[in-house]
């Protein structure tokens, strides 16, 4: 007779990772694993354009997209362009 432990599956995620996965899935109740979900709307907290104010090294950003564009400009473009991004 096989024990019950043989049929148990263990998650590859930690308890904290599983909680995060469950929270993300709760935003998409009809989630189909074979489809992509795009986050174009600012209302989505997963969008790079979702309003969120934070600062780094004394520079304040209003979205994660602004943060990424600023740092991209600092790598490839002149300082004047970085100021325009802000």
Summarize pLDDT for 14-72 with one digit per residue, the tens.
888 788 778 777 776 676 656 666 666 667 777 888 888 999 999 999 999 999 988 88
Residue 79, domain member (yes or no) = yes
Domain enclosing residue 73, as ranges = 46-86
Q: CA 51 to CA 43: how far, in whole Å?
A: 8
Q: How far apart are CA 86 and CA 78, in angstroms?
A: 14
- CB distance 47 to 41 below 8 Å: yes
Classify residue 64: in a domain, yes or no: yes
Number of domains in the chain: 1
Contacts of 63 (CB under 8 A, 6+ apart): 48, 49, 50, 51, 52
Question: Has residue 69 been placed in a domain?
Answer: yes
* pLDDT score recorded for residue 29: 66
Structure tokens at 70: 């600023």
User: What does pTM read for this prediction?
Assistant: 0.49
Q: Is 84 domain-assigned? A: yes
């Amino acid at each position: 007779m096989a024990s019950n432990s043989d049929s148990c599956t263990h998650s590859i995620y930690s308890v904290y990772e599983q909680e995060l996965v469950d929270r993300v899935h709760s935003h998409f109740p009809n989630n189909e694993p074979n489809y992509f979900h795009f986050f174009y709307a600012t209302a989505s907290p997963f969008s790079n354009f979702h309003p969120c104010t934070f600062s780094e090294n004394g520079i304040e950003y209003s979205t994660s997209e602004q943060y990424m564009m600023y740092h991209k400009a600092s790598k490839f473009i002149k300082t004047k362009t970085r100021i325009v991004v802000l």
